[in-house]
Amino acid sequence: MDRVATFNEFLREKGLKNTSQRMLILEAFLNSDSHYSTEDLYLKLRQDNPKIGYATVHRTLKLLAESGLAIELNFGDGQARFEPVHEAEHHDHLVCTKCGLIIEFEEPRVEALQNEVAKRYNFMIQSHRHELYGLCQDCAKKA
């Protein structure tokens, strides 16, 4: 089942409706590997669909997060970002504090340690965030 179908099923289960706006937003969201903020995606969609509203984009992104198709990220700049979830893949982020570059990384050994920590505290992990902040190669060179 592709992700459009997954989202439709999610909507049906929730008693929500499948609208043209939701499909537009879903498509634009999936066809990118960016880390969109509501504002970013809103502005992008406006280019082809001048009538779409900010609130609708935001509500749909929240729905996508709820449905598991998106993950909400917060890098501490006061703007939530949303990232498409690519099944069976997990990664975390390096964030350049100078230019804003976001690099994704995977490190299964960290996940293993997380589980160990959780066990230590009888904690049941639902999700996690792991972000490294600093300077990317280019910015470090310039500094």
Partner DNA sequence: TAGTTTTCTGAAAGTTATTTTCAATTTCCC
Partner DNA sequence: GGGAAATTGAAAATAACTTTCAGAAAACTA
Residues that bind a second copy (CB under 8 A): 72, 74, 76, 94, 96-97, 103, 105, 107, 109-110, 113-114, 116-118, 120-137, 140
- Region near DNA per CB under 7 A, out of 33-41, 99-107, 110-118, 129-137: 33-41
| Helices 54-67 & 3-14 angle (0-180, nearest 10) | 100
Smallest separation, CB 1 to a second copy (Å): 27
Nearer CB in complex with DNA: 73/84: 73
Q: How far apart are CA 141 and CA 48, in angstroms?
A: 39
Q: In 10 A of CB 135, how many CB atoms?
A: 16
Chain centroid to CA 120: 29
DSSP bridge pairs for 73: 81
Amino acid identity at 42 = Y
Strand order in the sheet with 36-37: 36-37, 80-84, 70-74
Min separation Cβ 141 and a second copy, Å: 9
Minimum CB separation of residue 89 from a second copy in Å reads: 16
H or E segment at 16?
Answer: none
Query: Chain centroid to CA 18: how far?
Result: 21
Pick the binder of DNA from 9, 53, 113, 129 (CB under 7 A): 53
CB of 6 or CB of 97, closer to a second copy: 97
Residue 56 contacts which entry, DNA, a second copy, none (Cβ below 5-8 A, type-dependent): DNA
* Interface positions with DNA (CB under 7 A): 11-12, 14-22, 37-39, 51-56, 58-60, 62, 78-80
